[in-house]
């Protein structure tokens, strides 16, 4: 593998778009990469949990696919996510299989970020963090609540736990039940953003939280996930829709 890859970073308080890839097989994956690149996104996220469910790839197969993807990505960064079924993953997969896959991605020198959940078991996180020590790949430490929006104190505790775990970028996605929930997430994120030196992602899922996807940099975040071939969370808009709305808001 080429060890001279230039890594792409998500900048703090800067709008950044990312298209998730939920492709089921190799041909779909490579075709979806080309579509995402043509759409002009900044990052692509390979949702590995959607790929060939039930099949186990060898390290060589995993890394060959990542190389094939990067060949087709002249300017885009790559996020690798093998989502736990406990936080919205497509299928239930053992920690051993997921950890091996994530570590293969880190060692491939093709991945800018890996998204790994805060709530994974301690031994799982230890293995991932050890692999990251000898790589320039960065860690998006994530937390998802598909049922509710935590209290302000709970949001603060989650961000603190993420930072103390060693995450390079903090990601929190919650489900608002009211506009008060959206405001609470935005207020807590903006406050924490002032003390955390790196980029953050804060998403209020569903239609109520659309502002956090359209203008994340005004809400304490940076990266926004935009729908590609399919949606990976409630409320995702297409990149075309987001760009149009940002123009209407004079953000472009």
Residues labelled as active-site residues: 144, 171
Separation of alpha carbons 54 and 44, rounded Å: 23
- Encoded tokens for 167: 């995450």
Separation of alpha carbons 227 and 21, rounded Å: 9
| Residue 83 C-beta-side C-alpha neighbours within 13 Å | 22
């Amino acid at each position: 593998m080429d060890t001279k890859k230039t890594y792409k970073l998500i900048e703090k308080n800067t709008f950044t778009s990312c298209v998730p890839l939920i492709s089921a097989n190799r041909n779909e994956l490579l075709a979806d990469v080309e579509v995402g690149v043509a759409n002009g996104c900044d990052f692509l996220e390979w949702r590995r949990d959607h790929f060939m469910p039930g099949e186990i790839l060898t390290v060589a197969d995993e890394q060959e696919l990542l190389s094939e993807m990067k060949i087709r990505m002249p300017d885009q960064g790559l996020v690798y996510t093998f989502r736990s079924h406990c936080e919205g993953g497509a299928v239930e997969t053992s920690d051993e299989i997921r950890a091996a896959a994530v570590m293969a991605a880190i060692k491939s020198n093709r991945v800018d970020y890996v998204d790994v959940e805060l709530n994974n078991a301690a031994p799982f996180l230890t293995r991932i963090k050890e692999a990251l020590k000898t790589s320039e790949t960065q860690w998006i430490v994530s937390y998802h609540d598909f049922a509710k929006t935590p209290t302000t104190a709970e949001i603060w505790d989650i961000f603190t736990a993420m930072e103390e775990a060693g995450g390079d970028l903090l990601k929190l996605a919650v489900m608002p039940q009211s506009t008060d929930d959206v405001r609470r997430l935005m207020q807590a994120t903006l406050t924490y953003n002032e003390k955390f030196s790196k980029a953050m992602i804060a998403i209020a899922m569903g239609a109520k939280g659309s502002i956090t996807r359209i203008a994340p940099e005004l809400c304490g975040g940076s990266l926004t996930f935009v729908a590609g071939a399919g949606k990976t969370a409630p409320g995702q808009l297409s990149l075309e829709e987001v760009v149009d709305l940002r123009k209407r808001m004079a953000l472009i």
